[in-house]
Amino acid sequence: MVFPMHDTGEAEESPAETAGHFNTPISTVSHFFSSLFNDALHSIFRWSIWKKITVFGILIAAVLVTFWVDIPPISVYREWADDAGNAFIFFFCGFYILVTQFPIPRTFLTLAAGVLFGPVMGSVVALGATTISAVTSLLIVRLLLGKWMAPRLKHPAVTRINTRLEQRGWLAITSLRMIAAIPFSILNYVAALTSVPLLSFMIATLIGSAPGTIVTVVLGDAFTGAGNSPAIAFSIFLGVLGVLGIFLDQKMPVKPAK
C-alpha cells in the first residue's frame, strides 16, 4: 500500500485532510487496475468461437488427465530427475518460467523443486526460475501494453506512485515479495505498469522471494504430507516483515518528480 508524500515546510495536515489525500490516490489506482482487468476480460469475450472452444477443451483435458493418470510415489520423481541429469534442470526451469507467466500459484512448482532436486539445488533452481520469470513477465507486459499505458500514467495520483517506485521501488517490491498472500504473477503485472527500474525489480524479487522460496523447497525435500509448524511460523514472520517494509517505505520521503 502506498501513501501520498507530504511536502516539507508546510503546516501539518489534520487527520481528516490526510485521510482525504490518502483515499484519492488509492481509489484512483483501484479504478485504474479495475478498468485494466475489465478491458482484458472483454478482450477474452471477443475471442472467436473456435478459440474459446480450444481453450475450454485444453482445460477440460487437463482436469481429466489429473484424475485418470496414476501418480507415482514421491521418491520416484527424484529418481527420474537424477537419471535425466542436467538437461532436466533446464527443462524444469523453462516449465517453471512458462507456467508462472500466468496467474497460477507457484507454490506447487517450488515444492516440486525440493522433491526433485533436494534442498540446495532445489533452492537455486526455484529462486533462479522465479527471478527470470518475474523479469520476463515485466518485459512482456511493458512490451505489449507500454504505449497503451503511457497516457494512463499521467494522472497526479498515479504519478506519485510511479515516482515512489522509480526512486525506491526495491523496498516496496522486496517487502511485497515476503508476503505469501500476494500473488506472484499479479505483482509482476502491476509492477510492469509502473516506472520501477528493471534492475531494482530483479534484485528486489531475488532478495524478497529467497526466504519463502527456500522454506518451501525444504518442505518439498522433507515432504511427508503433514504440516510443518516451524516453516508455517517462518512464513507468518516473513509476512509481518513485509508489512513493516511497506510501512517504512510510506514513511520515508520521496523527491518530487521532475
Domain contains 178: yes
Instruction: Identify whether 257 is part of a domain.
Output: no
Average pLDDT on 12-40 reads: 50
In a domain, 10, yes or no: no
pLDDT at 8 exceeding the cut of 50: no
Tell whether 151 is covered by a domain: yes
Which spans in 150-228 are helix H?
A: 156-177, 184-192, 198-221
Q: Is residue 105 part of a domain?
A: yes
Residue-range definition of the domain harbouring residue 70: 49-251
Higher pLDDT, 19 or 87: 87
In this prediction, residue 93 carries a pLDDT of 94
Higher pLDDT, 79 or 135: 135
- Give the pLDDT score at 232: 54
Contact 113, 209 (CB under 8 A): no
User: Using the 8-state DSSP alphabet, how is residue 181 labeled?
Assistant: T
Give the residue carrying C-alpha cell 507467466.
Answer: 101
What's the pLDDT at 6? 46
Asked whether residue 4 is domain-assigned, the answer is: no
Between these two residues, 67 and 96, which has the higher pLDDT value? 96
Cα–Cα distances (Å) from 228 to 1, 124, 215, 222, in that order, read 30, 22, 10, 10
pTM for this entry: 0.60
Q: In this structure, is residue 226 part of a structural domain?
A: yes
The count of domains in the chain is 1
Least confident of 55-59, 64-68, 107-111, 131-135: 64-68
Scan for cell 515479495, then name that residue: 177
**Confidence class of residue 9 from pLDDT cuts 50, 70 and 90?**
very low
- pLDDT tens-digit profile of 37-92? 566 667 667 778 888 788 788 878 767 766 676 656 666 777 788 888 888 999 99
Q: Which pLDDT belongs to residue 22? A: 40
> 40 in a domain, yes or no?
no
Give the Cβ contact number of residue 213 at 10 Å: 26
